[in-house]
Amino acid sequence: MSASGGAVSASEEQRKTVEKIDFVIAWVDGNDPEWQARKRRLEGKAGEDDQPERYRDWGLLRYWFRGVEKFAPWCGKVFLVCDQEAPDWLRRDCDRLVIVRHEDYLPEAFRPAFSSHPVELNIHRIPGLSQRFVYFNDDMFLLRPVEEAFFFRKGLPRDAALLNPVPTVDLKKRKGGRIFTIPLNNAEYLNRDFEFRSCIRAHPLKWLSLKYGKKALRNLMLLTWPRFVGFDELHLPQAFLKSAFEDAWDEDGDILAETSRHPLRDDRDVNQWLIRERQLAKGLFMPRSPKAAGKVFDLDLEGDAAARAIEGQAVPMVCLNDGPMEEEAFCRMREKVQDAFRKILPEPCIFEKEGTE
């Protein structure tokens, strides 16, 4: 009912639909034999990134869903994007869950997709997705209660516009489709579309926010450059406007389509960071302290610290970045991390079938 006691108007219903915040998570189980067989048909392609840690399943998806229900019960729909059968323990009749197969939203020219780039760059095509959503990789988790304002304020994504020159690496030692060329490609297209100093002049307080701490000083120093030099990429759950993807396809459709046609990672790719950077360039964000967001752990180097941070709920969000490790070390670390999640999220959630623990 409306405040006047009458029925809710169509415009009010539309406003509520626009204002909800959905969650999107892209998931892959690299242990799936059928998925492995399809991927093997593409092996040997030039420029591919075929490291096993890109696809290895840590068995943590259940705790992602438990974290959503417990720590962000306000979220709208949860869209699970996958190119294989979803886990048996998921409740497919849950009205908040939408399982999205690649064929449900990816154009045929962009399939098959074994790279995350086409999967992410086309998220806006998912039927029913809200204008405001938060995108998660399947290695990103909530550890504490968060409010809607943690991700969006005044209708805009919360973010930190932290300029940082893109580092280069020795590509002779890192051949083929690695992540390291992508920030360079992103910066090139961002500078094609935007005039750096005009963006700063349009929203100076967003670029020099005191919320950034000492990193605001680095921003100030880099204002002397005539172009965008790159950004800190926090590698944590990212708030997006669906319209930002639509605008990017209008202006950068050439490179987005080329990237989306690569079934495996390629050195020529851009990724969803470009969409985020376009939001920053347009001032479509509200500043937030990067320290307040969360922390990234490299599990091959910091696995024990990651487990302690999870059990102690040390930060609101965490990214558990897989890395090269022997099978024995991987199994040992997986058990430690799973045990930490079991301690903070022991109860089944509405997304799980009963009796499937």
Distance CA 194, CA 290 (A): 24
Strands (E), the chain: 21-26, 78-82, 97-101, 132-137, 140-142, 152-153, 156-159, 238-241, 286-287, 294-298, 317-321
Identify the H or E element spanning 186: helix 182-193
The answer to whether 148 and 58 are in contact (CB under 8 A) is: no
CATH number for 15-344 (one of 3.90.550, 3.30.70, 3.30.1380, 1.20.1250): it is 3.90.550
Structure tokens, 274? 């470009």
Three-class secondary structure of residue 163 per DSSP: strand
Phi-psi region of 178 (alpha: psi -120 to 50; beta: other; left: phi over 0): beta
Structure tokens, 130? 């809200």
Question: What local confidence, expressed as pLDDT, does residue 354 receive?
Answer: 85
Three-class secondary structure of residue 5 per DSSP: coil
Distance CA 143, CA 275 (A): 26
Q: Per-residue confidence of the chain (357 residues) as pLDDT tens digits? A: 333 333 434 444 444 445 699 999 999 987 788 888 888 887 655 444 455 555 677 899 999 999 999 999 999 999 999 999 999 999 999 999 999 999 999 999 999 999 999 999 999 999 999 999 999 999 999 999 999 999 999 999 999 999 999 876 655 554 444 567 899 999 999 999 999 999 999 999 999 999 999 999 999 999 999 999 999 998 999 999 999 999 999 999 999 999 999 999 888 999 999 999 999 999 999 999 999 999 999 998 898 999 999 999 999 999 998 888 888 988 999 999 999 999 999 999 999 998 777
Question: What local confidence, expressed as pLDDT, does residue 260 receive?
Answer: 98
Instruction: For residue 179, give the nearest of 92, 72, 44, 272 by alpha carbon.
Output: 272
Tokens 């100076």 locate to: 204
Tokens 């086309």 locate to: 122
Angle, helices 242-260 vs 273-281, to 10°: value is: 140
Question: What local confidence, expressed as pLDDT, does residue 179 receive?
Answer: 63
* Helix residue ranges per DSSP H, 48-169: 61-71, 116-121
Distance CA 280, CA 192 (A): 15
